[in-house]
Amino acid sequence: MDRGGQTVSATTFAQLTGVSRERLRTWERRHGFPSPARVGSGPRRYRLRDVPRVVAVRRASEDGVPIAEAVTRAAFDEPTGEVSAEAFAAMVEHAPLPVAAVAGPEPLSIVYVNDALARLASTAGGDAELARMAQRLANAPGGPHLQALFAGEHSDAICEHPRWDGHGGDVRSIAFRLPVRAGEPPLVAMIGIEVDRERELAGELAVLRSEVEHLRERDARHVRWMEAVARLAAEFQADAGAAARDSALDTLVRQLNATDAALATYLSGQLAVASSRRGSLGPAMITVAAHPAIARTLRDAHGAWLEPAAALALGVPAGLHACGVPVVVAGEPLGLVLLLFDELEEIDPDVERLLTAVSAAVGFALLRDRLADELREVAGQG
């Protein structure tokens, strides 16, 4: 429930809308929608009232509407607080449960079925099957409950009756009287509350959709990371100096939707950070031996999320998480690329390989700078 200006985290907002955090940030960057709130360098917070708008954009996109057009439609739509008769009728028609209107009491006849029930009945004979089903309703265990509803003895009841699709076994529906005009015959609505096959199919479909969405997100992430690697390579081919490294860090921030990035150089067992590109980190220095996790990261040359103690020692602001990407060339640790994010994300094998490519570009640039310094020193001594 939306209480005034209530906000939720990016993860919760993604779960409510069915739109991944990465896609939300892409929409924000390209279209200015949705517009999360942030306090300082804290994590993004999304307004709960924006959930229906984002869902509307997602559904329009799935129907082929360009994102820009879908955003324009939804960004300024305010909920009316009322449901029109047409919308209500559409909800009943497209409800995932079977809905029927039954006239009676003698004889019983089914005068309306929604789409879900029509599809069920069509598998066993269509209208003819519905007519036979109406006759069987009176003899079903729930028949007396229907008779009581038509007689006005009760306003609603749970009725057990044969399956709508004609297969063996019984199901249950909730039945209740519908309001009618004076002088019109009574009507009773029946809504299925046990649709085992539909529930199973819906579960299978949800699993398949989840798998497809996961594959789409992974593919989008890989494309984004590969673009970052390609841009890094182009930067270092043109210039491998400090300006190129700063530009490369900026590229990482943009391409990876990171909050900030910095390079911690390694020398004599210590990691030193001068500053980060977005100002989240200031000058800091730590002894690697005092942080075994960082020591293992440099030794094994595998990216990892920094432990809270190490992140605190490097000055990572509260609410942010730091990923350390070791810069190792020919077995020699040269530093650590620090990437700051609002939330933790899995570092799977594919991402690990891309991180290795990123760190390699930075590593060779650092190594080239070191060799150039040594050559200048030798030349000066000569």
Residue 128 makes CB contacts below 8 A (sequence gap 6+) with none
Determine the Cα–Cα distance for residues 100 and 217; give it in Å rounded to an integer. 41
Written as tens digits, the pLDDT of the chain (382 aa) is: 444 568 888 888 888 888 898 889 888 888 888 888 877 777 888 888 888 888 888 888 888 888 888 888 776 555 555 556 667 777 888 887 888 888 877 777 888 888 888 887 765 556 677 778 788 887 787 788 887 888 777 778 888 888 777 777 778 888 888 877 777 778 888 888 765 555 676 678 788 888 888 888 877 777 776 776 676 666 666 665 677 778 778 877 877 778 999 989 898 899 999 889 999 998 999 999 999 889 988 888 778 889 999 999 999 999 999 988 888 887 788 888 898 998 887 776 766 776 677 777 777 777 777 777 777 777 777 6
For the CA atoms of 148, 151, 153, 157, the dihedral, rounded to the nearest 10 degrees, stands at 40
Please report which helix (H) or strand (E) contains residue 13, including its range: helix 10-17
Domain that holds residue 359: 203-381
pTM value is 0.43
- Quick one: 125 and 233 in the same domain? no
- Quick one: 64 and 169 in the same domain? no
- Quick one: 231 and 322 in the same domain? yes
- Quick one: 51 and 180 in the same domain? no
Asked if the structure places residue 92 within a domain, the reply is no
Domain C-terminal end among 75, 109, 134: 75
Termini Cα distance of the chain:
76
Q: What is the sign of the dihedral through the CA atoms of 236, 348, 303 and 252?
A: positive
- Quick one: 54 and 155 in the same domain? no
Asked if the structure places residue 164 within a domain, the reply is yes
- Quick one: 246 and 371 in the same domain? yes
Asked if the structure places residue 323 within a domain, the reply is yes
Domain C-terminal end among 194, 212, 245: 194
Asked if the structure places residue 86 within a domain, the reply is no
Asked if the structure places residue 122 within a domain, the reply is yes
DSSP letter for each residue of 27-64:
HHHHH--S--B--TT---EEEGGGHHHHHHHHHHHHTT
Find the angle CA(350)-CA(308)-CA(36) to the nearest 5 degrees.
Answer: 70
- Quick one: 253 and 369 in the same domain? yes
- Quick one: 116 and 175 in the same domain? yes
Domain C-terminal end among 194, 221, 256: 194
Provide the number of structural domains found in the chain: 3
The pairing of strands 45-47 and 7-9 is antiparallel
Asked if the structure places residue 89 within a domain, the reply is no
Q: What is the sign of the dihedral through the CA atoms of 31, 35, 36 and 40?
A: positive
**Residue owning tokens 């009574």:** 186
Asked if the structure places residue 155 within a domain, the reply is yes
- Quick one: 222 and 243 in the same domain? yes
- Quick one: 166 and 256 in the same domain? no
Q: What is the sign of the dihedral through the CA atoms of 17, 19, 22 and 27?
A: negative
